[in-house]
Structure 1
Amino acid sequence: MTLFRQIYSLLFSLFLLVVASLGYVQFTETQSFLTKQMESDLNNASTSLGLMLTPALEAGDTVAAETLVNVIFEGGYYNNIKLIWMVDGKQQEWNNPIKIDDVPQWFINLNLFKTIKKESTITSGWLQLAQLEITAHPGFGYHELWRIMSNTLIVFSLLFLVAIFTARLGLTWILKPLNALSEHAKKIAARQFGPDMPLPSTTELKDLVTAFNSMSAQLKHLFQSLDEEVGSLRKKNLTDPASGLPNRQYVVSRLNGWLSEPSSGALFLAKLDWLEEVHSKYGYQVRDETIRLLAEKLVQQLNEITPSVIARIAAFEFAFLVTDVEHDQISKYLQTLIRTINQEISKAGCKPNENFAIGVAERVGQMKVSDILAQADNALQKALKDNKTFHWFETTEQQIFTREQWRDNLSHAISNKKFKFRWQPIQFCNGDGVTQRELYCQLELGDKLTHAGQFMPYIELLSLGSLLDKCLIETVYEQKLLERNYEPLAINLTHQSLSDSQFHQWLNHFLRNAPQVERMCFEIPEAGVYSDLESCTRLCNIIRDNGAKFGIDHFGRQFGSMSYLQGLRPSYVKLDQSFAYYDEASHNSELCRAIINVAKGLDIQVIVTGIQEKAQLERFNELKTDAYQGFIAPPENIE
């Protein structure tokens, strides 16, 4: 029971006790007063009637005596009058039944008034004439007692209602600071640190509010410190100081994650020897400033084509990782890269199309990091040897379909729900079983099974992401996949769905009417959060309000603050696969530990991804991660 209800119940009980006591006192006093009044009236009537009857009794006039008694009896205040003549023993009796108007019979049946009777002897000198007995009628007492108590009850009821209503309003106002303090405490427990509470006027609560404000400020500072520590470690270990771009270590970790999951794209290696010419002419300070300006232009121009990883991996070498794109978009990216480099070469006073070369290696089939690095480096060396601006590593693999063919095939597959599913168990680190299963989709085109890495770039390119997500969510329910296991089922949302307001409305309506929605999990890529936090917040609120869960995928991959976690409040985060290869001896271990601490500090479940063997998993034991995912427990076909 809440404190408000406890105090309210206490006041209710005390007021009820006071009202009952006052009612009891009023009732007994009124009853006693009416009894005495009836007794007094009975005495007066007995005396008066005795004096009136004396002449008639002396004369033996029965009719006159009866007439006198009738006058008194007809007043209705007497239940019974009995007159016994002493001369001959004659007895006369008058009775009035107990019937009282405007008084409930149950009240009369309570017998609140005892029988009041008065006996007297009528004499004349020493001579006894008659015996008179009068019994009072209780009607007057019941009528007056009922009227007084009814009025008293009405007044008390009105006072009771007014007092209770006033007490409720008063308690609400008095306890308002305490309620606000309770809500503030809940937010602190949920790691939501808002502005400080204003100090209440209640003296007893001031110290408590001050203590809570101090605790909230300290916890907020602690989280900010963890976030700043992550930023500092990223800058120290993964950022090139001259250009502000990621360094070689970051590129290698991203390559590991990229090649371990279905995707497409290409790796560019660029050697910019003209920077050495700038160095020899103007010194290292001008060279470093030129590198910084070049980096800004590369990020600005290339990210307009497609999001990519741009890194400085050596003094005059840069790497460019482009993911989830088709061949034509890679060509457009290459053209923009060459144009941007030539613009900066001209600004530096050097000749365009000279003293730089680019090697391009496109991802095909199953590749390792060493494979694609070797291909890109071979292409770079070939371009340098042939004195060309670029060389594209030749591949014998042909495109499966043209863009229009992809559009037709994917549109048909989405309309007719032709996708097939596999799922991968995500297991608790303590061995307690499976926490959830992640869903993967495949597409059968002709007699060949196409995996997501082949068609997902075209899903994004052709703006079919929202349609695909709707199709997959509906298919999950149509095939009753949620009933196959007790574990929640995780579905990855595309970038287009994150910012599509129509998809938001559709998902809200669908989840509101769907059964077992608590078993649904939706995964949002961290890159999508950074690109459109407002839309992601609206989508996450829809998911949470309908009882489903959501998590952040590729957690820790992006450069930037992790303060978004406080606003989104995901149920879990999936650590980026690049951290699966961390080693205690490497600088990456400090960053991995700090990123995990940020999520754990907000009571968010942390899932490690990319686990291939037990030795990898054991390195995460001391970091207190919750679950793991990887080919140590590979995806399974759904029968």
Structure 2
Amino acid sequence: MTLFKQLILFTLMLFLILFTGTLLLSFNNTRSFLLNQLESHAQDTATSLGLAISQRAVEEDRASLESMINAVFDRGYYQTIRYVNVEGKVVVERQLAVTFEDVPSWFIALAPLDPPEASANVMAGWRQGGKIYVRSHPGFAYSALWKDSARMTLWFLSCAVFVFLVGGLGLRLLLRPLALVQRQADAICRKEYESQEPLPRTRELRQVVIAMNRMTFKVKEMFEEQAAFAEGFREHAYFDSLTGLGNRRYFEMQMRSRQEEREGAGGGLLLLVQIRDLQRLNRQRGLQAGDELLKAAAFILRDLAQSCSNPVLARLTGGDFAAFLPDSLSWEAPKIAEKTANALSRLAERKLSATENVANIGAVTYDTPTALGSLLSEADLALRTAQQKGPNAWHIRGITEETEKLPAGEQQWRRTLEDVLQARRIRFDAQAVVRTAVRNDCMHLEVFSRIVRGEDGVEFRAELFLPFAERLGLVSLLDRIVLEEAMRLDRQKLGVDAVAVNISPASLHDDDFRSWLHSALRDLPPSAPRLVFEFAESAAIRSLDSVRQFREHIRQWGHAVALDHYGQSLSRLGYLQLLRPDYVKVDRAYTEALKDSAGDSRFYIGSLCSVAHSIDVLVIAEGVETEEQIDMLKTLNIDGLQGYAIDRPKPMAGNSAGS
């Protein structure tokens, strides 16, 4: 029970006690007064009547006695008038039945009035003629007592209602600071930090609010320090402080992770960009001029990667940059390289470079898993060739094995995807995610999809077709098909309560998709599993408001939102507090970099766990492939594990590609 209700009840109880005591005291006083009045009334009547009938009593004139007694009895309000002669014989007696019309019977039983009988001697001189007895009728007394009690009760009830309404309003105003303190405490539990202003005037409440504000500030300061430490460590280990891009360590870690993935990275485009005559610029204009040129080049590379998902951008050393674009295929490479070279060459017009020859670009395309060393070697050869071509030149080399299997251009991709989606030729696999502490406790299953081309049955993984599905506006239809399959699953047969599905933030901007999804979630049968919508971190950051609103909407039906490949985008940790995903999956690059207890990756994962746990966000490691990694992750307080060391993706029962 709330303090407000307790205070109201306590006030009403005190009021009830006061009312009961006052009512009883007033009731008894009134009752005693009325009994005295009845007794006095009866005695006065007996005395006056005894004097009036004395002569008739001595003469034993019965008719006159009756007339005189009847006159008094009819004129007054008496219960009994009785005249008894000296022998004790009743000569005349009048009685009136005791009935009450306007007084409840329960009140009469509760407050009995037994008026005393008064008497007087009938004397004629020294001679006694008899005795007169009079008892007043209690009807008027009962009526007066009932009306007085009813008026007092009505008055107290009116006062009680007034006290309840006005006092309740006053208590709410007085206790409002406590309600705000409760809201502050709830906000802290949600890892939100609110201060209460203005301070209440009541001294005790003011001190409580001041203490609460101080605690809120301290907790917020602790979280910010914790997040700043984790971010600072990651920046030191993986960031280039000048350009804000990743450093060489970050680049190699990300590339090895993608290249060493068991199923392979599929393909992509790697560019090496070399800024020319940087040392000459530093000598002529100073280090600040060189720094401005490097920052401008980094800005161009960021702009280049805007349309790509999960790019890897890094400054390797000095004026050397690397850009890995996993979504790009060989036929797109010349356009990308030329656009980048033209943008860099325009830096000379802004007088940022020492010469017109700003940069050369070497690029390598590949469509089959290739070792990082080979990629860098081919890209370096392409860069040397570009340098020989002349100022601001670019050159592309290709590594291919089965290029002919992939659609050759955007229109071929459109026809392939539309055919696949219409025929629903999609294959679904599932992989378990388990709790670190108990490896046989499955947290959820993650669903992976492949499309199957109709004419030859060739399968394409999501890494290959998703960029084109987004670019061609087909990704929402693809996400809908995947979600429809997930919604048909039975949690009893799966053996888990939750299924994770990767969807694109671009689908959230499709009105038809949102309308369908909200209706489908509302009508989801009880047997269906709880859905976890996973978004790639880099894509989620670009659509942060849409993802946050989506999370708030689906949580009313018990579903969840999570971030995949966390740490890949080198973003700040602050947005976690705004988005509040149910969990984040640490990018496999950090998992694979776990080498020893003093490694940077270990410290980063440990710091991330500390920050995420402080705002009730779980942390899951993906790409776990060895027992050594599992042992080290256990020491970092990580919540879940996913990878080949735990479970391999398996075809989902009852879900296969359409024919």
Residue 459 of structure 1 aligns with an amino acid whose one-letter code is A
Deviation at 1:336, TM superposition (A): 1.5
Q: What is the rounded CA distance, in whole Å, between the counterparts of 1:86 and 1:280 in structure 2?
A: 146
Aligned to 2:110, the other structure's residue is in SS state coil
Aligned match of 1:578: 589
Structure-1 separation of matches of 2:416 and 2:382: 38
In the TM superposition, residue 595 of structure 1 has moved relative to its aligned partner by 2.4
Q: Residue 469 of structure 1 aligns with which residue? A: 479
User: Counterpart of 1:201?
Assistant: 201
Which residue type is aligned with residue 322 of structure 2? Answer: A
Partner of 1:55: 55
Q: Contact 2:585 / 2:621 at 8 angstroms: preserved in 1?
A: yes
Please give the alpha-carbon distance, in whole angstroms, between the structure 1 residues aligned to 2:484 and 2:55.
Answer: 112
Aligned to 2:656: none
Give yes or no for the alignment of 1:396 onto 2:404: no
Mark the CA change 1:333 to 1:373 in structure 2 (over 3 Å): closer, same or farther.
farther
- Measured in 1, the distance between the counterparts of 2:434 and 2:221 equals 33
> Hey, what does 2:268 align to over in structure 1?
266
User: 1: CA distance between counterparts of 2:478 and 2:94?
Assistant: 102
Displacement, 1:181? 1.3
Aligned-partner SS, 2:23: helix
Are the aligned partners of 1:380 and 1:390 in contact in 2 as well (CA < 8 Å)? no
Which letter does structure 1 place at the counterpart of 2:435? F
Matches for 1:219-238 after TM superposition, within 5 Å: 219-238=219-238
Residue 291 of structure 1, CA deviation: 3.0
Q: CA deviation at 1:477?
A: 2.6
Question: For residue 566 of structure 2, what is the aligned residue in structure 1?
Answer: 555
- Given candidates 422, 432, 435, the residue that maps to 1:425 is 432
1:19 and 2:13 are equivalent in the alignment? no
Read off the aligned partner of 1:198 and give its amino acid letter: P
SS state at 2:53 partner: helix
Consecutive unaligned residues of structure 1, counting only runs of 5 or more, are: none
Q: In the alignment, which residue of structure 2 is the partner of 1:322?
A: 325
Tell me: CA distance 1:444–1:26, structure 2 relative to 1, closer, same or farther (3 Å): farther
After superposition, the C-alpha distances for 1:397-455 in whole angstroms (9 at most, x for unaligned) are: 12444544543554465567554433222111111612222222333443455432333
Instruction: Tell me how far apart the structure 2 counterparts of residues 88 and 80 of structure 1 sit (CA, whole Å).
Output: 17
Q: Which residue of 2 aligns with 1:162?
A: 162
- The one-letter code of the counterpart of 1:82 is R
1:288-336 Cα offsets, whole Å, 9 max, x none, are 5433332223323453677732222244533211123455444432332
Shift of 1:467: 3.0
How far does residue 157 in structure 1 lie from its aligned partner after superposition? Answer: 0.3
Shift, 1:158, TM fit: 0.1
Q: For residues 443 and 302 of structure 1, do their structure 2 counterparts lie closer, same or farther at Cα, with a shift above 3 Å needed?
A: closer
2:102 matched residue in structure 1:
102
Q: Determine the structure 1 residue equivalent to 2:365.
A: 361
Map of 1:535-554 to 2, 5 A cutoff?
535-554=546-565
**Partners of 2:543 and 2:88 in 1: CA distance:** 119
State the identity %: 25
Kindly indicate whether the alpha-carbon contact (under 8 Å) linking 1:442 and 1:451 is maintained by their aligned counterparts in 2.
yes
Q: CA deviation at 1:456?
A: 1.7
Match of 2:295 in 1: 292
- Preserved CA contact (<8 Å) 1:271 1:317: yes
Deviation string 1:223-267 (CA, Å, 9 cap, x unpaired) is 222332233223322223554431221112222444437865513
Matches within 5 A, 1:427-446: 427-431=434-438, 433-446=441-454
User: Which of 532, 544, 567 pairs up with 1:521?
Assistant: 532
Structure 1 residues 479 and 415 mapped into 2: Cα distance closer, same or farther (>3 Å)? farther
Cα shift readout 1:522-550 (whole Å, capped 9, x = no counterpart): 22332234223322322222133443222
Number of matched pairs:
634
Give secondary structure in 2 for the equivalent of 1:490.
strand
CA distance in 2 between partners of 1:264 and 1:8 (Å): 70
Partner-residue secondary structure (3-state), 2:446: strand
Give, in angstroms, the shift of residue 76 of structure 1.
Answer: 6.0
In the TM superposition, what whole-angstrom CA distance separates every residue of 1:570-595 from its partner, at most 9, and x where no partner exists? 22222222210233333333333322
Residue of structure 2 in register with 1:624 after alignment: 637
Whichever residue aligns with residue 28 of structure 1, its letter is N
Report the 3-state secondary structure (helix = DSSP H, G, I; strand = E; otherwise coil) of the residue aligned with 2:414: helix
Q: 1:28 to 1:484 in 2, by over 3 A?
A: farther
In 2, distance between residues paired with 1:404 and 1:74? 119
Flag the 1:481–1:81 CA change in 2: closer, same or farther, 3 A: same
Tell me which residue corresponds to 2:311. 308
Output the CA distance in 1 between the equivalents of 2:495 and 2:197.
46
Match of 1:175 in 2: 175
Contact preservation (8 Å) 1:426, 1:627: yes
Contact 2:334/2:396 (8 A) holds in 1: no
Aligned to 2:649: 635
Aligned equivalents of 1:284, 1:90: Cα separation in 2: 140
Once the two structures are TM-superposed, the CA of residue 148 in structure 1 deviates from its matched residue by 0.6
Task: Tell me, in whole angstroms, the C-alpha distance in 2 between the residues paired with 1:610 and 1:307.
Answer: 16
**1:493 is matched by which residue type in structure 2?**
I
Distance 1:204 1:12 in 2: 24
Change (3 A) 1:170 1:351: closer
Whole-Å separation in 2 of the counterparts to 1:590 and 1:543: 34
**TM-score normalised by the chain length of structure 1:** 0.89
CA positional deviation for 1:16: 1.4
**Residues 519/362 of structure 1: CA separation in 2 closer, same or farther (3 Å cut):** same
How has the CA–CA distance of structure 1 residues 188 and 19 changed in structure 2, closer, same or farther, with 3 Å as cutoff? same
Check the 8 A contact 2:345/2:359 in 1, yes or no. no
Counterpart CA distance in 1 for 2:8 and 2:610 is 44
Aligned residues of 1:524 and 1:551 also touching (Cα < 8 A): yes
- Please identify, of 557-566 and 260-269, the stretch whose mean Cα deviation from structure 2 is larger: 260-269
1:482 is displaced (CA, Å) by 7.5
Aligned 8 A contact 2:43 2:134 in 1: no
Kindly provide the amino acid, as one letter, of the partner of residue 563 in structure 2: I
Secondary structure at 1:74's aligned position in 2? Answer: helix
Looking at structure 2, the residues matched to 283 and 362 of structure 1 have their Cα atoms a distance apart, in angstroms, of 40
Secondary structure in 2 aligned to 1:35?
helix
Q: Say if 1:465 and 1:495, in contact at 8 Å, map to a contact too.
A: no
2:505, 2:543 within 8 Å by CA — same for their partners in 1? no
Contact in 2 for aligned 1:380/1:391 (Cα 8 Å) = no
How far apart, in 2, do the equivalents of 1:273 and 1:142 lie?
111
TM-score (norm 2): 0.87
Deviates more, 1:164-173 or 1:71-80: 71-80
Contact 1:269 1:380 in 2 (8 A): no
Aligned to 1:460: 470
When residues 135 and 419 of structure 1 are mapped into structure 2, their CA distance, relative to the original with a 3 A threshold, is: farther
**Equivalent residue in structure 1 for 2:494, among 461, 484, 488:** 484
The 1-side partners of 2:421 and 2:492 are apart by 21
Aligned residues of 1:428 and 1:627 also touching (Cα < 8 A):
yes
